[in-house]
Amino acid sequence: MRKLIDQIRSLLTQNQVYKSVFRHGYPDTDANRALVMFSNVILHLHPVRVRRGALKIKFTWCLGGLTFFFFILLSITGVFLMFYYVPDTRRAYNDIKDLGTVIYFGGLFRNLHRWSAHAMVLSVWLHMTRVFLTGSYKPPREFNWVVGVILLVSTLLLSWTGYLLPWDQLALWAVTVGSKMGEATPIIGNAGPFGPELGFTVENDVAYVLLGGTMVGQSTLLRFYVLHCLGLPLIAAVFMAVHFWRIRKDGFSGPL
Ligand code: HEM
């Protein structure tokens, strides 16, 4: 029995996925207890060592930091916009127009929000390219690369859901095209490979869930608004916290 338990334990723990998440063994010796302390974010916030060369601006170009800065700016300006914008198809377009003409500093905040969104998408791509080119995705940072991919997808989805909110022609057709792509998705889309075989139709596939119906309308606007202002920023914030924690714990990958 003991042998079987040992075998199961070693099967579960002796693989790259487990080792990229848990960096230490059982706290059964002093060395293991110290490792548990050093790799725990609450017990030991700072990394044990930071290489001097890794702090050089020309290594990271601060692209991750810039992405985070744009996220904070977007959150602040976004809250301001929420005071004036109502996600109702009869009002949305005019509310956005009023920001530019009626509300004090409305145009400034809207433009700060819009341009920061473009800048965040650009900087997150550049950051990922830098991480790739410097080989910083290699062990022990492969777990953080995966967290990064989730952050990239959240950033793109934030950008896409925000695009619908002005409720103009550009927004409507962009989301219509996007949802058609959803319909053509393998397995979960009604027009994608294996979708119809699995019982998906226009009334129960992924595009239906996303739009809240079969075409872009009031339910879509409300869904995108909730996702844009609440769901996706929360997901991004939680994964950013994990991302920063791993950066501190893995240490920068930069030169000595
Ligand atoms: C909202 C998006 C993101 C934010 C706010 C963010 C933030 C950061 C920050 C502040 C750093 C420290 C170094 C630097 O500034 O370059 C960093 C490092 C890192 N990021 Fe991101 N990141 C994001 C997305 C991504 C993506 C899309 C990937 C890859 C798919 C990624 C993978 C990594 C890795 C592996 C490191 C460690 C790099 C090293 O040690 O040299 N991150 N990130």
CATH at 114 = 1.20.810.10
Alpha carbons within 13 angstroms on the beta-carbon side of residue 194 total: 4
The pLDDT value given to residue 256 = 60
* Rounded Cα–Cα distance for residues 65 and 242 (Å): 15
**Residues spanned by the domain of 125:** 61-250
- Of the two residues 249 and 69, the one the predictor is more confident about is 69
Q: Which residue has the tokens 């949305």?
A: 92
Task: Judge whether 23 lies within some domain.
Answer: no
Pocket test for ligand 1, best of 121, 131, 141, 158 (most atoms within 8 A of CB): 131
% the chain with pLDDT above 90: 71
Task: Judge whether 4 lies within some domain.
Answer: no
For the cut 70, the answer to whether the pLDDT of residue 117 exceeds it is yes
Tell me which DSSP letter residue 201 carries.
Answer: -
Cα of 232 from ligand 1 centre, angstroms: 18
Task: Judge whether 27 lies within some domain.
Answer: no
The pLDDT value given to residue 137 = 94
Q: Which of 71-80, 148-157, 183-192, 241-250 has the lowest mean pLDDT?
A: 241-250
Task: Judge whether 17 lies within some domain.
Answer: no
Cα of 130 from ligand 1 centre, angstroms: 9
Task: Judge whether 228 lies within some domain.
Answer: yes
Task: Judge whether 34 lies within some domain.
Answer: no
Hey, is 129 helix, strand or coil? helix
pLDDT digits (tens, 9 = 90+) for 163-209: 999 999 999 999 999 999 999 999 999 999 999 999 999 999 999 99
**Is 251:38 a contact under the CB 8 Å cutoff?**
no
What atom in ligand 1 is closest to the CA of residue 251? 40
Residues with CB under 6 A from ligand 1: 60, 62-65, 67-68, 71, 124, 127-128, 131, 136-137, 141, 144-145, 148-149, 151-152, 155, 240, 243, 247, 252-254
The pLDDT value given to residue 167 = 96
The pLDDT value given to residue 195 = 93
pLDDT digits (tens, 9 = 90+) for 47-103: 777 777 777 888 889 999 999 999 999 999 999 999 999 999 999 999 999 999 999
Task: Judge whether 38 lies within some domain.
Answer: no
Cis omega before residue 27 (within 30°)? no
How many distinct structural domains can be found in the chain?
1
What atom in ligand 1 is closest to the CA of residue 137? 35
User: Can you tell me the mean pLDDT for 107-121?
Assistant: 98
What mean pLDDT is reported for the chain?
92
Nearest CA to ligand 1 atom 24: 148
Task: Judge whether 37 lies within some domain.
Answer: no
* Rounded Cα–Cα distance for residues 133 and 254 (Å): 12
Cα of 185 from ligand 1 centre, angstroms: 29
% the chain with pLDDT above 70: 99
Cis omega before residue 139 (within 30°)? no
